[in-house]
Amino acid sequence: MTPATPRRTAAVRLRPKATAAIALVSIAGLIAFGWPLIVDPGSGIAHGADAPFVFALLLPLLLAVVLAEIAEGGLDVKAVALLGVLSAVGAVLRPLGAGSAGIELVFFLLVLAGRVFGPGFGFVLGSTTLFASALITGGVGPWLPYQMLGAAWVGLGAGLLPRARGRREIALLAAYGAVAGLAYGWLLNFSFWPFAVGTGTGLSFIPGAPAWENLHRFALFSLATSLGWDLGRALTNAVLIAVTGAAVLGALRRASRRAAFDATPEFNPAPHADAATVIETHP
């Protein structure tokens, strides 16, 4: 007899407006990351250094809209408490590994939590974890909105993975963690690459050049500067998920069952007791 596939419980209910908000902010985020490939070469933004700052101001506003839409009827007290606990754990884990060969301990938790509690919870957890971590470590800057959105996508994607069970599920999550670790690093590179190496080099961004040429230059830049860090992050995610995935998934699923996020509350007034049994007597 084979065990049943674990049922996923959405701790955050994504209503149509919240889903649309996530889709819109994701499109805006892709533009914020990939603007060097689509910007008009004659525009000022193509030659200035203020583009990351413009998007850094825009993305928090968009994220705030998404979080507000999710919180409106889709985030109950139990989900908020769980979100606070996991965000705090992730914020503490992140500084423990950062700065050493790309080892980052926070992303495996985002993947596992997104898997158990659904894409909406994973999206919110990714953004709040990176925000809390930045407050703890003093890492607040124009790069933070990009980090928050990238981590939010990692949690969102984990919640959208297909159903699996047992070792297949762990293998699926480990593979996703590795790919997400690489993708996160490459996305973050896009936020500063056009201004990182100046002009006139084989790795430089060329305004107005064909997209494939700039992509080639960006790939060379990433391979030369951040491949070791990205591989370290990917390997850390895969190993931690493979080693701790079964235990952490079990703990999170027990917490989900006890919280009963999908339960419908009902109010059942107690029956009226006889007056003689509720009147207290005093000597």
Q: 215 pLDDT exceeds 80?
A: yes
Class of domain 16-260: mainly alpha
What is the percent of the chain with per-residue pLDDT over 90, rounded to a whole number? Answer: 29
Closest by CA to 116, choosing from 258, 266, 233, is 258
Per the model's pLDDT, the better-predicted residue between 264 and 156 turns out to be: 156
- Among the listed ranges 125-134, 154-163, 254-263, which one has the minimum average pLDDT value? 254-263
Percent of the chain at pLDDT > 70 equals 75
How many CA atoms lie less than 13 Å away from 65 in the CB half-sphere? 14
CB 74 within 8 A of CB 13: yes
Residues 10-66: tens digit of each pLDDT: 777 777 777 888 888 888 888 888 877 776 655 555 445 555 666 666 667 767 767
**Which is more confident, 36 or 232?**
232
Q: What is the dihedral of CA 268, 271, 277, 279, to 10 degrees?
A: 60
pLDDT tens digits, residue range 58-67? 667 767 767 7
Given a cut of 50, whether residue 198 has pLDDT beyond it is yes
Return the pLDDT at 264: 54
Q: Which residue has the higher pLDDT, 219 or 55?
A: 219
Whole-number Å distance between alpha carbons of 94 and 128:
13
Mean pLDDT of 60-76: 69
Q: Give the pLDDT of residue 170.
A: 96
**Region 94-121: what's the mean pLDDT?**
84
**Range from 17-21, 99-103, 253-257 carrying the lowest mean pLDDT:** 99-103
pTM for the predicted model, two decimal places: 0.81
The pLDDT value recorded for residue 158 is 95
Q: Which residue has the higher pLDDT, 3 or 161?
A: 161
In angstroms, the CA 218 to CA 63 distance is 27
CB neighbour list of residue 264: distance below 8 Å, 6 or more residues apart: none
Name the least confident of 74-83, 121-130, 131-140, 213-222.
74-83
Using alpha carbons, select from 203, 236, 256, 5 the residue that is nearest to residue 106.
Answer: 236
Instruction: Report how far residue 121's alpha carbon sits from residue 271's, in angstroms, rounded to the nearest whole number.
Output: 39
Q: Which is more confident, 259 or 178?
A: 178
The pLDDT of residue 85 is: 92
Q: Report the length, in residues, of the chain.
A: 283
What does the chain look like in DSSP terms, one character per residue?
-PPPPPPP--SS---HHHHHHHHHHHHHHHHHHHGGGTS-TTSGGGTSS-HHHHHHHHHHHHHHHHHHHHHHHH--HHHHHHHHHHHHHHHHHHHHHTTSTT--SSHHHHHHHHHHH-HHHHHHHHHHHHHHHHHHHT--STTHHHHHHHHHHHHHHHHTSPP--HHHHHHHHHHHHHHHHHHHHHHHHHTTGGGTS-SSSTT---TTS-HHHHHHHHHHHHHHHTHHHHHHHHHHHHHHHHHHHHHHHHHHHHHHHHHTTTPPP---PPPPPPHHHH-----
**Domain limits, the chain:** 16-260
Instruction: Say which range, 41-45, 207-211, 229-233, 278-282, has the weakest mean pLDDT.
Output: 278-282
**Do 127 and 149 touch, CB atoms closer than 8 A?**
yes
pLDDT at 220: 92
pLDDT at 256 exceeding the cut of 80: yes
